[in-house]
Amino acid sequence: MRKMLLVALYTAFGFGANAGSLDGLLVGDMKKLAVHSEVVALPEAVLLDGAEAETSLEVYRGKWVVLNFWATWCAPCRKEMPSLDRLAVAVPEIAVVPVATGRNDVAMIEKFYAEAGVTSLPVLRDPKSALARQMGVMGLPVTVIVNPAGEEVARLIGDAEWDSVEAQAVLKAMMAE
């Protein structure tokens, strides 16, 4: 059964990549993924890392990025975060970048990560929600797919299983285009 699923997925992946379309791959949680017809430039914003040092999304330029806006108090974020951690391990060529938006101190983020079993993701904060506001994030979680040029190409509102076979097929198809 597993082999049949993998063959079907591989075929769908090949069709989607060759056709230049993700339509056949947008199943399961990926049905919520809105793929933009035109890329959207990301705003510049200062983020804080786990040591309270200033950083930005510019450090990820040149890589595909799964940019996730979340908060320690967000129940769907608690459900979703372990799958983002597993995605980072499963597909290391993609930068999985969670940004805790709003009032989330480092100690609370570290506690959240420990409780959720997150071990592979960076601690990044947008303490005044400046980046989230500039990007039109109205609720949490929101995940934005960013191309190597630093442009938003897709957005998913709500939680998803980012390490699922379906999500990985979509991300790999995007990377192949």
Class of domain 27-176: alpha beta
Q: Parallel, antiparallel, or unpaired: how do β-strands 33-41 and 47-49 relate? A: unpaired
* Mean pLDDT confidence for 42-54: 96
**Cα–Cα distance between 71 and 84 in angstroms, integer?**
14
Query: What is the spatial order of strands in the sheet that 142-146 belongs to?
Result: 33-41, 151-157, 142-146, 64-70, 94-101, 124-126, 47-49, 54-55
Triad 145, 113, 135: Cα angle to 5°: 30
Residue whose tokens read 């991300």: 171
pLDDT digit string, tens, across residues 54-109: 999 999 999 999 999 999 999 999 999 999 999 999 999 999 999 999 999 999 99
pLDDT of amino acid 7: 35
DSSP letter string over 14-44? HHHHHHT--GGG--GGGGGEEEEEEEEEPPP
The letter for the amino acid at 87 is L
pLDDT of amino acid 85: 98
Is a pLDDT exceeding 60 seen at residue 9?
no
- List b or e across 129-161, with b for residues whose CB sees 16 or more CB atoms inside 10 angstroms: bebbeebebeebbbbbbbbeebebbbbbbebbb
pLDDT digit string, tens, across residues 31-41: 999 999 999 99
The pTM assigned to this predicted structure is: 0.88
Is a pLDDT exceeding 70 seen at residue 30?
yes
- The full set of domain ranges for the chain reads 27-176
Is a pLDDT exceeding 50 seen at residue 18?
no
pLDDT of amino acid 21: 72
pLDDT band at 15 (very low <50, low <70, confident <90, very high): very low
pLDDT of amino acid 114: 97
pLDDT digit string, tens, across residues 129-169: 999 999 999 999 999 999 999 999 999 999 999 999 999 99
